[in-house]
Amino acid sequence: MMRSNQPNSAKSAISSRSQLSGQWSGLADSDRWVVTHHMKRLLMFSFLAALLGGCSKQSGLSLSGTKGSGDLAPFAMQCVASRGGHASTNTLPVVQASWTHQSREIQDIILVDGDHFAEIQKALEQAFGAPDTKLGSPTVAPVGAGRSLTYSPQQIGVVLNLTADSRQTVVSVMGKKSP
Q: What is the pLDDT of residues 35-88, one digit of tens each?
A: 555 555 555 555 545 444 444 444 566 778 899 999 999 999 999 999 999 999
In a domain, 17, yes or no: no
Task: Output the pLDDT for position 75.
Answer: 96
In a domain, 155, yes or no: yes
In a domain, 4, yes or no: no
In a domain, 35, yes or no: yes
Q: Does this model's pTM top 0.75?
A: no
What is the extent of the structural domain holding 124? 26-174
pLDDT, greater one: 145 or 26: 145
In a domain, 55, yes or no: yes
In a domain, 162, yes or no: yes
Mean pLDDT across the stretch 105-134? 96
Can you point out the beta strands (E) in 20-145?
Answer: 66-71, 96-103, 107-113, 141-143
Q: At what angle do helices 72-82 and 117-128 cross, to 10 degrees?
A: 50
The set of residues, in sequence order, having a beta carbon less than 8 Å from that of 150 and lying 6+ positions away, is: 39, 42, 43, 46, 131, 137, 138, 159, 160, 161, 162
Domain count, the chain: 1
